[in-house]
Amino acid sequence: MQAFLKGGSGISKGASTSKQNLEKYEKSVASKPWVEKYRPKSVDDVAHQDEVVAVLRKSLTGADLPNLLFFGPPGTGKTSTILALSRELYGFQLMKERVLELNASDERGISVIREKVKKFAQLTANALREDGKKCPPYKIIILDEADSMTKAAQEALRRTMEKQSKTTRFCLICNYVSKIIPPIISRCSQFRFNSLSVEDQKKRLWHVCEKEGVKISEDAMSCLVKCSEGDLRKAMTYLQTAYRLKGEEGICEKDVLEITGVRCRRM
């Protein structure tokens, strides 16, 4: 996995601080679930979503970032993609000040838009990262599961998007774009996230197995991907659960079936 910050040794105080922050970050994720630990750290590390990666890569070279609407099946990398972009734009430390992430299914009322979102959008932000590099003059608000928001909350969000367009970019993430009101859709660049191919899923899972020292048979890996139904997040969780149960014994197809509770044929 590529690091999203590169610090040379002894070249500057800013670079040294950046390297120290990255080391702290890597230590903190060591104990996290593998889903979090192995999220893409850069836009180029996002798999199977070439169109959105091409657009977001331009924003890293100075192009303006539009409001975004990501939609598609769960576990296809929607949240991971915008978080990877945010890390590259702002760096690890400044990202905490520049990015607001909300789960709209938990906080979906109009009060959230009027209070949290509006307040954050109005805050001023620093222009430099901790390593001294310039970052974009806007903040990012991520609304996950935006299709769970009430219509009144979406109307309030539309007005906030209009008023704060100079200082804030919004990224709405949902499974069903049909549940988002047309005025919001028209203000966003839409990107459909497709289910990852079997090959891409296996490639990611084998990478995790290599890093974590997991022993798993080919049949078990195929069964794991089949039972996860294209949801890489689910597959990663199943894999970690199986490893905790089996340890160095190795994971077989039977183990996968017992953990998932799903009957699946070999691929």
Residue ranges of the chain assigned to CATH 3.40.50.300 = 13-192
Question: Residue 18 to residues 142, 171, 241: CA-CA distances in angstroms?
Answer: 24, 26, 33
At residue 242, the pLDDT reads: 92
* AA letter at 37: K
Residue ranges of the chain assigned to CATH 1.10.8.60 = 198-260
The Cα–Cα gap between 26 and 12 comes to 21
Q: Are strands 189-192 and 99-103 parallel, antiparallel or unpaired?
A: unpaired
Say which DSSP state 106 is in: T
At residue 8, the pLDDT reads: 38
Contact indicator for 51, 191 with CB cutoff of 8 Å = yes
At residue 195, the pLDDT reads: 84
CATH number of 198-260: 1.10.8.60
In this structure, which topology does domain 13-192 adopt according to CATH?
Rossmann fold (3.40.50)
C-alpha 72, offset from chain centre: 14
- Full-model pTM: 0.77
The Cα–Cα gap between 165 and 59 comes to 16
pLDDT tens for the chain, residues 1 to 267: 333 333 334 434 455 555 565 555 455 545 688 988 888 888 877 767 777 888 788 877 777 889 999 999 988 889 989 998 898 888 877 888 889 888 876 655 677 777 777 778 777 666 666 666 777 888 999 999 899 888 888 998 898 888 888 889 999 999 999 999 999 999 999 999 988 889 989 999 999 999 999 999 999 999 999 999 888 999 999 999 999 988 778 999 999 999 888 665 444
Residue appearing with tokens 């005025």: 183
